[in-house]
Amino acid sequence: MAGMEISLTDAKAQLTEPVRRAEAGDDVILTRHGRAAVRLVPVTTPVAADARRRLLDTLRKTAAAKATPGPAAAHSQDDLYDDAGQPR
* Model confidence, pTM: 0.49
Buried b (16+ CB within 10 A) or exposed e, 8-32: eeebeeeeeebeebbeeebebbbbe
Averaged pLDDT, 57-75: 81
Highest mean pLDDT among 19-23, 76-80, 83-87: 19-23
Query: Average pLDDT in the 69-81 region?
Result: 75
Task: With CA atoms as reference, report the closest residue to 18 among 36, 41, 43.
Answer: 41
Residue-range domains of the chain with CATH: 1-64 (3.40.1620.10)
| Tens-place pLDDT, residues 12-25 | 899 999 999 998 88
CA dihedral 77, 79, 83, 88 (to 10 degrees): -110
Q: Which of 4-18, 35-49, 71-85 has the lowest mean pLDDT?
A: 71-85
